[in-house]
Structure 1
Amino acid sequence: MNRDLIIGIIVSLAMHGIILGAFNRKAAPPPPPPKEEESLVQFEMPPLDEEVEEKVEELTEDTPVENIMAPPSLVDMPSIVPVDAFTQPIAPPPPPGFQANKGAINIPVTKPGAGFGKGISNLFNIGDLDQQPVARVRQAPTYPYDMRRAGINGTVVIEFIINTEGDVIQTNVVRSSHREFEMPAIQAVTKWKFKPGRKGGRVVNVRASQLLEFNATE
């Protein structure tokens, strides 16, 4: 092949490559705008207080301890008690013509042998009657709490008078095993109601007695 022909082909190819490369080359991007410099504001810090070291004193046995808060206390002030503070005034007698309420319960209590039933007319013993009284209402006595808790049993013999209306008007403790049972027994018998006893076809006052038993197991 001719040398001049080869050189011409090479030159022709080189020219085509340069032309094609010029068309395919992309335009270079524009340079970025210059960055603005940020302005920094410098604040001045206030001066810091100097730290003061606290001194801690070591306590020893000889160091006195100061009591800042004293505990509250009550002042013991002596009080003067009058002499008549322990004196119970005596209740004055009722005025003349005073009548007690019919609904009030009166418990007359007399000592043995002190004239029980004295001043009551038309009074008979229960064994001398033609017709003995018949109980209509009989209330059991209240057992004392302390005696029941201790398991103490006892008995009380009560003597009483039944009037012509069937009410108990007087009571008397003949004997008792414990004094704690006497008052409950009297209070119970006073509330009893009877059909009056009769002597010679008419109602009379009757002297009677009753044994009351206190049993903690019942």
Structure 2
Amino acid sequence: MNKDLIVGLLVSVAVHLIAINPFSGKNAPPKHVAEVKEDVVQMEMPPLDQDEEKKVEELQDEPMENVMAPPSLIDLPTVVPVNAFTQPLQPPPPPGMTTAKGAINIPVNPPGANFGKGIKDLFDINNLDQKPVARVQNPPQYPYEMSRAGISGEVAVEFIINSSGDVVDTRVMRSSHREFEVPAMQAVQKWKFKPGRKGGKAVATRASQLIEFNLEDNK
């Protein structure tokens, strides 16, 4: 009884399955798959302008120029000489060469710069009542180099005689050779005079003397 019931149930189930799926015994129809085709669209490039092509070619053909500007005058280095700010040093005197005793230091000034400065009541020799009279008037020393070279010359010296008869100031008015100037002034500064007089009293006097350097007299 139970066996018949089970068989009947199985048959009933099979019939229902066939009713529901009539293609169960056949192959299933093929599935349709949608395909997406990509349409390739070729874009046309616009033609290049001939002028632009020429410009590109010209730029390629032109050589590269130096873009650095030339230096201005301010940029150029200034060559500065080495001795521009250097004062030359005078060499020391040779060994054994010392200043002689009794030598007179003569200040080096422009002619007439300080001549007669500080001297009161200075008279010209032509305006005196009585002119000075020389007491000691030794000749100058002849420069050795000039004597050896056989050179003669002369120096005109202006000097001031004070009221005591001493020479207190000298200057060179003119000379034929500079080498004769110092010996001439040194000689005049050692001269002694009887002072000139004006109004009965001794006064300072301005005088001048031409000193000659002659090789014949020096022998």
Q: TM-score w.r.t. structure 1 length?
A: 0.51
Q: Which residue of 1 aligns with 2:193?
A: 194
Distance, in Å, in 1 between the alignment partners of 2:142 and 2:149 is 12
Distance in 2 between residues matched to 1:105 and 1:213, nearest whole Å: 21
Distance 1:108 1:193, change over 3 A: farther
Name the CA shift for 1:197/1:155 in 2 (closer, same or farther; >3 Å): same
Higher helix fraction: Structure 1 or Structure 2? 2
1:133 corresponds to: 132
Query: In structure 2, how many angstroms separate the alpha carbons of the residues matched to 1:179 and 1:167?
Result: 25
Partner of 1:180: 179
Q: What residue is the counterpart of 1:98 in the other structure?
A: none
- Alignment deviations for residues 166-214 of structure 1 (CA, whole Å, 9 cap, x no partner): 0000000000000000000011000000000000000000000000000
Cα distance change on mapping 1:155 and 1:135 into 2, 3 Å: same
CA distance in 2, matches of 1:157, 1:84: 34
**Contact 1:109/1:172 (CA < 8 Å) preserved in 2?**
no
Match of 1:122 in 2: 121
Distance 2:108 2:126 in 1: 23
Shift of 1:115: 4.3
CA distance in 2, matches of 1:108, 1:134: 27
Query: How many equivalent pairs are there?
Result: 122
Tell me the secondary structure at the aligned position of residue 113 of structure 1: coil
Q: 1:107 touches 1:169 (CA, 8 Å); kept in 2?
A: no
Aligned to 2:207: 208
Q: Indicate the larger mover: 116-125 or 184-193.
A: 116-125
Instruction: List per-residue Cα deviations over 1:34-76 (Å, max 9, x = no partner).
Output: xxxxxxxxxxxxxxxxxxxxxxxxxxxxxxxxxxxxxxxxxxx
CA offset digits 1:139-170 (Å, max 9, x no partner): 10000011111110100000000001100000
8 Å CA contact retained: 2:157, 2:210: yes
Tell me the secondary structure at the aligned position of residue 217 of structure 1: helix
User: Aligned to 1:182, what secondary structure does the other structure show?
Assistant: helix
Match of 1:146 in 2: 145
Structure 1 residue ranges, 4+ long, deviating more than 3 angstroms after superposition: 83-88, 103-110
Shift of 1:109: 5.5
Quickly say closer, same or farther: Cα 1:168–1:152, change in 2 above 3 A: same
Contact kept? 1:107, 1:190, Cα under 8 Å = no
Gapped regions of structure 1 (runs ≥ 5): 1-82, 89-102
CA contact (8 A) 2:155 2:174 kept: yes
What TM-score does the superposition give when structure 2 sets the normalisation length? 0.51
